[in-house]
Amino acid sequence: MTDSTDNGGSGGLTHFDATGAAVMVDVSAKDVTERVAIAEARVRMAPETLAVVRRGDARKGDVIGIARLAGIMGAKRTADLIPLCHPLPLQSVTVDIEPDDALPGLTIRATARVTARTGVEMEALTAASVASLTVYDMLKAIDRGMTIEAVRLIEKRGGRSGHWTAPSLIPEP
């Protein structure tokens, strides 16, 4: 018998048993609570490419709208993409995509919500990642030099480990 119980955020690896074999964490003893995760990604592109997005002139269509939909669809398929990730009955997924002249590019922020025994960090990260990949796919004909950057968890709430917020990527003055 293998022990795959969650360690409640104590820092140990939870997806391996005592022999080192990969296992799905047993979350049956955890409380069902509301859980929220927010993830972010950035797609850096040439200023001319960002102008195409702003004007809505991309040959493949509405870049922001389609990327938003792809991110939501990706979050719903997370357990199919990430081994050992629990399938979750998502209650809400939102994907906000904002043009950012300072990058230049797009900042993507995905929020996932669930009431369950395990968190939704992977769903939020998957949503931000898939939305970013969709932006790249839709614009690669005009800008193959785009980069997908800073895919990261921004915040998580709920569950045994409570509330966590990532430090800013922008250094304090």
> Which range is least confidently modeled, 24-33, 35-44, 74-83, 137-146?
24-33
Please tell me whether 169 is known to bind a ligand: no
For residue 9, is pLDDT > 80? no
7 pLDDT exceeds 70? no
Distance CA 166, CA 146 (A): 25
pLDDT category of residue 172 using cuts at 50, 70 and 90: low
Phi first, then psi: give them for residue 67, nearest 5 degrees: -65, -40
Per the CB < 8 A criterion, the answer to whether 27 and 160 are in contact is no
Catalytic residues: 137
Q: What does the alpha-carbon distance between residue 161 and residue 151 come to, in Å, rounded to a whole number?
A: 22
Is 34 known as a binding-site position? Answer: no
pLDDT in tens, 72-122: 999 999 999 998 899 999 999 999 999 999 999 999 999 999 999 999 999
- Higher local confidence (pLDDT), 20 or 109: 109
50 assigned to a ligand binding site: no
Q: Is the pLDDT of residue 8 over 50?
A: no
pLDDT at 54 over 60: yes
Q: Is the pLDDT of residue 150 over 70?
A: yes
Q: How many CB atoms lie under 10 A from the CB of residue 8?
A: 12
Beta strands in the chain (DSSP E): 33-44, 92-100, 105-116, 147-157, 164-165
Cα within 13 Å of Cα(78), Cβ side: 24
* Residue 169: per-residue pLDDT: 75
pLDDT of 152 higher than 90: yes
Per the model's pLDDT, the better-predicted residue between 19 and 9 turns out to be: 19
Residue 70 backbone phi and psi in degrees, to 5:
-60, -40
The type of residue at 101 is D
Residue 148 has pLDDT above 90, yes or no: yes
HSE-CB at 67 with a 13 A cutoff on CA atoms is 30
Instruction: Give 170's pLDDT tier (boundaries 50, 70, 90).
Output: low
Residue 85 annotated as lining a ligand binding site: yes
